[in-house]
Structure 1
Amino acid sequence: METLEETFKTLAIARRLQPSEPTYILDVALQPSPSGSSAALVAVSCSNRTVRLHHRETLGVHGEFKGHTGRLCGVRFAHGSPDLLYSGSADGTLRCWDARRPGSDATRVFRSEVGHAFCSFDLSSNDTVVCAGTEQVGEDSFLVFWDARMASGKPEGKQPGLLGVYTESHSDDITAVRFHPRVADRLASGGMDGLVNVFDLSQGGEDDALITTRNCDSSAGTICWAGVDGEQLLCLTHDEGLHLWDVRQLDSDDPLTLLSASDARSLVTLPDGHALEHFVGGAWLEWAGQLQVVGGTSKGELHLLECSGQGLRAVRSLTDGHSATVRCFLWEPAGGALLTGGEDGQLLQWRAGATELQGAQRDTLKSTSAMQLKTKAHRKHPSKRNNT
């Protein structure tokens, strides 16, 4: 098997798709496939409030789902029931779709209180609990929990499946919610108040469930579990800070800080005079045993970085792909391919040693639509009042 360095060294564009309608690609998810079948689907959330399905191998459009009336905050496939696809939105709903039926209505709709606008969500590793983080409501922000197996399309009244709400752990928009990849009751959350919390949901009430809190001294942008056993937690902030903690000793008052920088761009030296403008996100590459951080520029350049307690190390820069800010990325299992999407509307598939098919569309679609102008800012969280 190729080493990680060899895989990165020969990465090239294998497929490129840019739909005729210019929309930002905000998030991407891959349908689980035990055998790695090429028949699996890729889901992307778009700035026009739709969830689009693509064929994994060709990136061809398979269909789409419509129903949300506010901007989307992510997409997730269920782990054990891969035909179930979840999406969250600032319209105050999480929706579950049947990926076998593109264009159909949501099979389940999750709601909480009127006035809640969701800006993050995730699904537990055993598919039983879904959690969403809200924007600030008055002086409060909420983590809302549902039984993922129960929901209703009814807009009012008691919501079936609603398990409870945490109200005290954050005081501003909850911008990131991530369940542990293997421990179903372990949840991390990050907010614009600078707090990153870890909960053990098996303990019940909020006070008992909160087992550690870290302060990233800025607005948390993305969080990511890392390490062989998920013993590390990475936080990237909206102003390009980076914090990596060892959270194995959750009963300790001071989990070990492995790496911390208020502006982590200064930790990176890129070749050929390239500049790192922002971080896109982080991912633990289980197949490689490495924590990867992806950085980029407003012109679409991507920089793959190895992250550890020793700092950030530039491994490979990807150019001539995107022409605008990249919003999301995803590695397929075992490093089969890297998927990237961004503000140029393109969905790209990168593979080691690939040669891009001839005739692939390379033109950049430009739009001055109000929707794109309102969602143009990359690292800053959108305005609470702007629910496009």
Structure 2
Amino acid sequence: MTALPHVNLLPPLAKAKDLLFSVNGEYIFDVVATQNAMAVSASDNQIKIYDPLLNLQGSLIAHTGTISNLTFLSTDPNTLISSARDGNVFAWDLRRPQAPVLAWKAPNRQSILSHAVSPAANLLAAGTELTGADAYIHFYDLRHAETPLMHTFSESVADDVTQLHFHPSVPTRLLSGSTDGVACVFDLVHWDEDEDLVGSMPSGSSVNKVGWFGPAGEYVWMSTHIETFSVWSAEGDLLKDFGDVRQHSTASTPIDYVVDCEFDPATQRLYMAAGSHSGSLSLLHVSLDGLQHCQTLPTAHTDVVRSVALDFTTGQMVSGGEDAKLALWKRADDPTVTAAPVLTPTPAATRPAPARLHQARKAAAPYSR
């Protein structure tokens, strides 16, 4: 195993709060956050809403299948979009959490594995599990759930659609990832699948996660289910193949899998969160020269870490895992950080309430060669 070089690019983090998400054995799938709230999906098909200090605000109950994806609407932090294997995509207003305010359904109750929303283009995209010989990306009008399915793409994906992300600044540009081993970029202008496919990135293995990054979102990062990692241009040019991230696992920095990546627009740096089977969490800087170790949190969790949400503005991070724990991390020098007790939810609380590259020539484009 090859140890990674260390860099001091992120302030040291310390655990500020440790919450036992459930006393019934459910574990955490996904954590997404805004400045004022965070949403957490679990293996019991529920979504719990917390404030920034991990105080439970309520539960969202409607899905009858495993929840696959959560996103907050970028134009409205009170609106949460959820999708699940029950074939439904729901929009929730956190100010009225009793029931979804909008619902979209996949044809024939196809299992939905991913979704993405583009408020500027009024688009909702939903990716399905392989059904028979086909997998689909369905497109809906984000404003009207009663509007029939607008378009469907199926020629570009040959297996489960694991990831969908609209571009951060180009409303019609969509990134997809599939277990067929290919990530695709579409520009949804013609609504002709062949014409709208503008980039293709073959990973050589089943795609686990993908994401946009860069000053103008001109790059794509990709992780696979066999823990390989790569960085591409949005046009489909391979910029760096990092190989198997597990080759860098050591006793002090155990790495068994990629959790996710996050891009810091202020510093133009991409960071990777990598976990171990024992529950440790490492934060790595992604450089075209290779991965660089920033810090390891050895007692983050006691089982697989499923999700992280890192806020570069506040320096806070939330992590969730299969140990049913939700952890809040703050800068180590934050005066509010003390020894973090594990908080166990009461029975009432478990019920519903009433992802720099190499020294670049230009700091603004650190991932350019």
TM norm structure 2 = 0.86
Structure 2 counterparts to residues 20-99 of structure 1, below 5 A: 20-21=22-23, 22-31=25-34, 33=35, 40-56=36-52, 58-99=53-94
SS at match of 2:76: coil
Are 1:218 and 2:205 matched, yes or no?
Answer: yes
SS at match of 1:149: coil
Match of 1:108 in 2: 102
Query: Once the two structures are superposed, what CA deviation does each residue of 1:343-366 show, in whole Å capped at 9, x if it has no partner?
Result: 111111111124644572178xxx
Distance 1:264 1:358 in 2: 32
Structure 2 counterparts to residues 1-388 of structure 1, below 5 A: 8-21=10-23, 22-31=25-34, 33=35, 40-56=36-52, 58-102=53-97, 104-124=98-118, 126=120, 128-152=122-146, 160-247=147-234, 250=235, 255-266=236-247, 268=248, 270=250, 273-353=252-332, 354=334, 356-357=337-338, 360-361=341-342
Shift in Å, 1:196: 0.7
Distance 1:99 1:59 in 2: 16
Shift in Å, 1:294: 1.0
What is the number of equivalent residue pairs in this alignment? 337
Task: Tell me if structure 1 keeps the 8 A contact 2:118–2:124.
Answer: yes
Task: Tell me if structure 1 keeps the 8 A contact 2:64–2:86.
Answer: yes
SS at match of 2:324: coil
Shift in Å, 1:10: 2.2
Give the 3 Å change call, closer, same or farther, for CA 213–6 of structure 1 in structure 2.
Answer: closer
Opposite residue 166 of structure 2, the aligned amino acid is F
Distance 2:253 2:262 in 1: 22
Shift in Å, 1:226: 1.0
Distance 2:41 2:193 in 1: 31
Task: Tell me if structure 1 keeps the 8 A contact 2:311–2:317.
Answer: yes
Shift in Å, 1:214: 1.4
Distance 2:121 2:99 in 1: 21
Give the 3 Å change call, closer, same or farther, for CA 296–29 of structure 1 in structure 2.
Answer: same
Distance 1:26 1:89 in 2: 12
SS at match of 1:114: helix
- Let me know the Cα RMSD of the aligned residues: 2.1
Distance 1:125 1:337 in 2: 27
Higher relative contact order, structure no. (Cα contacts within 8 Å, ≥ 6 residues apart):
2
Shift in Å, 1:336: 2.7
Match of 2:3 in 1: none
Opposite residue 264 of structure 1, the aligned amino acid is V
Distance 2:338 2:92 in 1: 32
SS at match of 1:208: helix
Match of 1:380 in 2: none
SS at match of 2:194: helix
Distance 1:274 1:7 in 2: 17
Query: Once the two structures are superposed, what CA deviation does each residue of 1:168-201 show, in whole Å capped at 9, x if it has no partner?
Result: 1111111111111111111110111101100001
Which structure's residues are more often strand, by fraction? 2
Query: Once the two structures are superposed, what CA deviation does each residue of 1:304-333 show, in whole Å capped at 9, x if it has no partner?
Result: 111122111111101222111100011125
Task: Tell me if structure 2 keeps the 8 A contact 1:7–1:352.
Answer: no
SS at match of 2:189: helix
